[in-house]
Amino acid sequence: MTFITRFAPSPTGPLHLGHAYSAIISHDMARREGGKFYLRIEDLDQSRSKKKWENKIFDDLDWLGLSWDGPVVRQSEQIDRYKNILIKFRKELGLFECNCSRRDIKNALTAPHENEKLSGPDGIIYPGTCRGNMFLSQLNFENVLRMHINLSENKSFSFCELGLRKGEILFSSDEFSKTVGDVVLWRRGYPAYHLACVVDDSEQKITHVVRGLDLFGATKIHTVLNSYIGFKKPFYYHHRLICDENGRRLSKRHDSKSICKYRQEGFKASDVRALLGF
């Protein structure tokens, strides 16, 4: 099996030390294994994705000494691919059109669900208001589409974790429905991250997905999608998160930790590696 991995940043701001950490682990693994390291630009968020950030990603990776294989994939250039998967697997995914606003969802959740978990890796756990729309004759891609997994099958899911939580991670459809709920796969004209991610990982034949522990919950969603669509499951490697002085996970707002700041201050790529403990 050829080892194939990827780095999949969103061009919505500067790359910071956390991105560098992820990209270096992924790149070095691929090179060690004689495999491939791909670069995928996740630019589905039309309002926040900018060409200037994409160009900075190329510059920063270059400066870090990380070379990628093959052409860069841009998600915005293949919207039909994601749409076709939903059309094809509509039944398996239990797709339904959702007309609820955030406020509708919050209102439907008050009182009776007080002791239950209200939020999961896809946000607020959906109360099921629009599930009756599962059988509408055509999918309306101008609306929100959610998946609802069939609980009567009582399926169990698993993925293989090679990183921090090493082992076989198992969960049931019942647990998924209680802690994640009806995940949004399409959002008014555009695929949601979870859908695009599994379609691309499958299309690019990714064997190892390397990313931060903050996406561990998302991996459960991806495992469920892979199972219903019939995509091969990759191995997952979730790594520690790089935090600021106060122990908070770095975000795009942490300008001071951006790679280009380190560059401007005269750091070398080897200094950044050393800073990250490589």
Site for ligand GLU, rule CB under 6 A: 8-10, 42, 197, 211, 215
DSSP string, 36-62: EEEEEE----TTT--HHHHHHHHHHHH
End-to-end CA distance of the chain: give it in Å, rounded.
Answer: 27
- The nearer residue to ligand GLU, 134 or 229, going by C-beta atoms, is 229
Using CA atoms, how far apart are residues 20 and 250, in angstroms rounded to an integer? 11
In angstroms, what is the minimal distance from the CB of 231 to ligand GLU? 14
CA within 13 Å, CB half, 268: 3
Sign of torsion over alpha carbons 130, 196, 171, 123: negative
- The nearer residue to ligand GLU, 130 or 199, going by C-beta atoms, is 199
In angstroms, what is the minimal distance from the CB of 227 to ligand GLU? 17
In angstroms, what is the minimal distance from the CB of 193 to ligand GLU? 7
- The nearer residue to ligand GLU, 109 or 196, going by C-beta atoms, is 196
- The nearer residue to ligand GLU, 51 or 103, going by C-beta atoms, is 51
Long-range contacts of 67-71 (CB under 8 A, 24+ apart): 67/27, 67/37, 68/7, 68/27, 68/37, 68/38, 68/39, 69/36, 69/37, 69/38, 70/36, 70/38
H or E stretch at 106? helix 102-109
- The nearer residue to ligand GLU, 20 or 109, going by C-beta atoms, is 20
In angstroms, what is the minimal distance from the CB of 111 to ligand GLU? 35
Using CA atoms, how far apart are residues 100 and 129, in angstroms rounded to an integer? 8
In angstroms, what is the minimal distance from the CB of 37 to ligand GLU? 13
- The nearer residue to ligand GLU, 16 or 146, going by C-beta atoms, is 16
In angstroms, what is the minimal distance from the CB of 67 to ligand GLU? 19
H or E stretch at 158? strand 156-161
In angstroms, what is the minimal distance from the CB of 216 to ligand GLU? 11
- If you ran DSSP here, which 8-state letter would residue 121 be given? T
- Which residue's entry shows tokens 């995928």? 40
- The nearer residue to ligand GLU, 5 or 173, going by C-beta atoms, is 5
What tokens appear for 186 in the block? Answer: 């399409």
